[in-house]
Amino acid sequence: MANHPPDAADHSPHGNGLDAASAPLETPQAGAAAAVPGSLAGEPGVKPLEQLRAEQRALRTATLHSQAILDNIFDGVITINVQGQIESCNRAACALFGYTADEVLGRNVAMLMPEPQRSHHDGYLRHFQQSGEARMMGKPRDVEGLRKDGQLFAMSLSVSQIQGADYPCFIGVVRDITLPRLREEEIRRLAFYDPLTELPNRRLLLDRLKQAMTSSCRTLQHGAVMFLDLDHFKQLNDTLGHDVGDVLLQQVAVRLNTCVREIDSVARLGGDEFVVLLENLSSQAHEAAAQAEAIASKILHVLGQTYDLRGRHYDCTASAGIVVFNQDKDSVEELLKKADVAMYQAKSAGRNTACFFDPTMQAAAVARAELEHDLQQGLHQQEFMLHYQPQVDPQGQVVGAEALVRWNHPRRGLVLPAEFLPLAEETGMVLPLGQWVLETACAQLRSWSLHSASAHWTLAVNISPSQFAQPDFVARVKTALRQTGARPQRLKLELTESMLVHDQAEVMARMNAIKACGVGFALDDFGTGYSSLAHLQRLPLEQLKIDPSFVRGVTTDPNAAAVARSIVALGHSLGLAVIAEGVETAARHHFLAALGCDAFQGYYFGRPVPAEVLENLYKKCL
């Protein structure tokens, strides 16, 4: 409309609508024409009739032309006067609001707006009438429109002011943005929400967390991030399928939302990981922690109620890690990480519980992660090695050795198994490591067999619980023996009592299969665990190892001496040899020898050393 030919705009009067293209000609111009007949053609200032008619025709054509343009454009165009009365309304505008032109022309444009826009609009007009200053001009704004049927819709509106013939008027260009809005919302939904649970996703959570942190700096109130992970969710997924797992996740999402306040957020990070963001907690740290803990307890309680998964009852618990924040320097990712670390703590504390983040815990977690990475690397880079500790008979003659793994760490130097075995066991890395130990030990046995001085030496190899539990463990042992050419009779596998109590039939079958090849078994750390003697009796064992904790006290503590004596007697009555481990002094050696111990191992006879050292030490003596 701003581009209207000046004529059409100038002569465009009030009260005309879509079909009013001819109307303008009847009012002001008609008045002008009426004055003409009385005047003489050729008189100065008086136009000849012909010229006047030609001008009228031109004007009429121009007006029709502009109206046609207006009616054919996609946008709605409405003009109003300074009183707010609608002066024109094109076809698109009529269609948009559901009125005919007649229904709106001359009426106040406020009829097309809902509150509070209507009041705002009245305010703008009043302001204009008083000051002549127009507001909200130019830039399109997103506002709501009111249709004739009462429906509201999203529209974009841009208003400009033009100078009419006698007074200013306003042109509003309106466009329905319902569809683009919906599309925008859909895009936003996909980008920021988890489709399965409709909870905010990680991205939106990070955004909200950032805002929460900023606002907590301002208000000095604490907030908390709670990281939740369902216990044993993988098992459910694996046994009942992902569909059922999804149903559980959806129900968990619903329950979580019932546990938090309006201002809090529940998000799903993926898998069975949820995060609850708590805001506006107390400004006192301990109170904030108590509040967060109360909500966590409620959540764990609610999540712990039985679920109905497509008619199947299912019980599930969750573990929660909480970190409370206030004016933290942490990034949002760091906060989340801390909550995650705390969650792992909750898992290892037995699940179905909540733990708060604490910095020492994090240091341990970081060290763990580093160690895990190094372990993996170490296996690839062949940083592991075996040391061999001699085992001697009552006369002090070497009869064999125990293989003890060492890690030659590039930065930390020689690392003892206590520092890495628990983690290796947890992460499963003990399997490739144990396999390497087995193969290396067998190769060592083969190498000893080639020298007369060491050909009779046995080698004890420690077997970890998960290594022994491998379904193909028997085959692995056989393969290691075959590939290295070691004599099975010289190999002794050290097991612990705890490995023998579960699935006794399977354990027995496995041990018997290995025993059948000639390989022997020693029961390590005997006396520290619990095993039924009846069960022990049935196992194809060869040797009991008295735990160093008893050996240490034999000469000073009558109880330790009594235990050692009983173990020797028990072993012998079961037809087993007994070896004392951790023998550090001559006195203990003599005491144990007097009890009838068959073999000895300990610093008194030799520390664990590399194979060459052991060979050099003992071959010379022999």
Residue among 592, 484, 480, 581 nearest 526 (CA): 581
SS3 state of residue 421: helix
Structure tokens at 262: 């309006």
List residues bridging with 86 in a β-sheet: 80
- What is residue 503's DSSP assignment? S
Q: Which residue has the tokens 């009739």?
A: 49
**Contact predicate 158/172, CB 8 Å:** yes
By CB under 6 A, the residues from 458 to 497 that bind ligand C2E are 462-464
437 binds ligand C2E (CB under 6 A): yes
524 binds ligand C2E (CB under 6 A): yes
Q: Which is nearer to ligand C2E, 197 or 391 (CB)?
A: 391
Q: Which is nearer to ligand C2E, 248 or 578 (CB)?
A: 578
Cis before 116 (ω within 30): yes
> Nearest distance from residue 416's CB to ligand C2E, in Å?
4
By CB under 5 A, the residues from 451 to 490 that bind Ca ion are 462
List residues bridging with 59 in a β-sheet: none
Name which position in 231, 279, 494, 598 contacts Ca ion (CB under 5 A): 494
- What is residue 76's DSSP assignment? E
527 binds ligand C2E (CB under 6 A): no
Q: Which is nearer to ligand C2E, 14 or 589 (CB)?
A: 589
> Nearest distance from residue 586's CB to ligand C2E, in Å?
12
> Nearest distance from residue 317's CB to ligand C2E, in Å?
32
List residues bridging with 354 in a β-sheet: 320
Buried b (16+ CB within 10 A) or exposed e, 187-198: eeeeebbbeebe
The bridge status of strand 312-314 relative to strand 318-325 is unpaired
Q: Which is nearer to ligand C2E, 110 or 392 (CB)?
A: 392
Q: Pick what 279 binds: ligand C2E, Ca ion, none; C-beta below 5 to 8 Å, kind-dependent.
A: none
**Contact predicate 522/547, CB 8 Å:** no
615 binds Ca ion (CB under 5 A): no
Determine which helix (DSSP H) or strand (DSSP E) holds 578, and give its type and residue range: strand 577-581
The alpha-helical segments, DSSP class H, found in 450-547 are: 465-469, 473-484, 498-501, 504-515, 533-538
> Nearest distance from residue 316's CB to ligand C2E, in Å?
34
Angle at 353 between CA 350 and CA 357, to 5 degrees: 100
418 binds ligand C2E (CB under 6 A): yes
Binding segment for Ca ion (CB under 5 A), chosen from 22-30, 279-287, 497-505, 521-529, is 521-529
Q: Which is nearer to Ca ion, 337 or 588 (CB)?
A: 588
d(CA 497, CA 541) in angstroms, rounded, equals: 12
Q: Which is nearer to ligand C2E, 156 or 389 (CB)?
A: 389
Half-sphere exposure (CA, 13 Å, Cβ side) for 590? 4
List residues bridging with 172 in a β-sheet: 78, 159
Binding segment for Ca ion (CB under 5 A), chosen from 101-109, 243-251, 313-321, 516-524, is 516-524
d(CA 169, CA 83) in angstroms, rounded, equals: 9
> Nearest distance from residue 467's CB to Ca ion, in Å?
13
Structure tokens at 439: 């193969």
Q: Which is nearer to ligand C2E, 159 or 477 (CB)?
A: 477
> Nearest distance from residue 515's CB to Ca ion, in Å?
19
> Nearest distance from residue 459's CB to ligand C2E, in Å?
11
**Contact predicate 466/498, CB 8 Å:** no
525 binds Ca ion (CB under 5 A): yes
Q: Which is nearer to Ca ion, 325 or 526 (CB)?
A: 526
Structure tokens at 473: 């463990």
Structure tokens at 337: 């990480």
> Nearest distance from residue 388's CB to Ca ion, in Å?
12
Name which position in 608, 611, 614, 618 contacts ligand C2E (CB under 6 A): 608
* Torsion (CA) 534, 537, 539, 545 in degrees, nearest 10: 110
By CB under 5 A, the residues from 568 to 587 that bind Ca ion are 581
List residues bridging with 200 in a β-sheet: 193
How many angstroms separate the Cα of 600 from the Cα of each of 288, 430, 495, 619?
59, 28, 18, 18
> Nearest distance from residue 413's CB to ligand C2E, in Å?
14
Name which position in 366, 603, 610, 622 contacts ligand C2E (CB under 6 A): 603
By CB under 6 A, the residues from 204 to 243 that bind ligand C2E are none
Buried b (16+ CB within 10 A) or exposed e, 216-255: beeeebbbbbbbbbbbebeebbeebeeebbebbbbbbbeb
> Nearest distance from residue 600's CB to Ca ion, in Å?
13
Binding segment for ligand C2E (CB under 6 A), chosen from 136-144, 195-203, 443-451, 601-609, is 601-609
> Nearest distance from residue 374's CB to Ca ion, in Å?
24
Q: Which is nearer to ligand C2E, 74 or 530 (CB)?
A: 530
> Nearest distance from residue 422's CB to ligand C2E, in Å?
10
By CB under 6 A, the residues from 529 to 588 that bind ligand C2E are 548, 582-584
**Contact predicate 118/130, CB 8 Å:** no
Q: Pick what 586 binds: ligand C2E, Ca ion, none; C-beta below 5 to 8 Å, kind-dependent.
A: none
24 binds ligand C2E (CB under 6 A): no
By CB under 6 A, the residues from 387 to 416 that bind ligand C2E are 389, 403-405, 416
Binding residues (CB under 6 A) for ligand C2E: these are 389, 403-405, 416-418, 421, 434, 437, 462-464, 524-525, 548, 582-584, 602-603, 608
Binding residues (CB under 5 A) for Ca ion: these are 462, 494, 524-525, 581
